Amino acid sequence: MKSELIKLTYQVQLQAGEKLNLPASLVESLGAGDWIITIEKINTMPETIRNHDAFLNSYAPEDEGLYDDYPGG
């Protein structure tokens, strides 16, 4: 049986002033061959914040009172 490790991912959280130290299990799992090591910051903030600006910006002064007499409201 032939097996091959395709992708190995570790998530590491560093505190202020702390330096990156690769886990020993990661270093030990690497052997002969060509490797790509990628370091990417995780975005913990949402990319967009939901708001209602589009609705508020579409409300014109002449719309004032438009729904005042609506019986179902």
- In this structure, of 4-8, 11-15, 54-58, the range with the lowest mean pLDDT score is 54-58
8-state DSSP, 67: T
Query: What rounded mean pLDDT belongs to the chain?
Result: 76
Identify whether the C-beta of residue 29 lies closer than 8 Å to the C-beta of residue 5. Answer: yes
Q: What is the pTM of this model?
A: 0.36
What is the rounded end-to-end Cα distance, in angstroms, of the chain?
A: 70
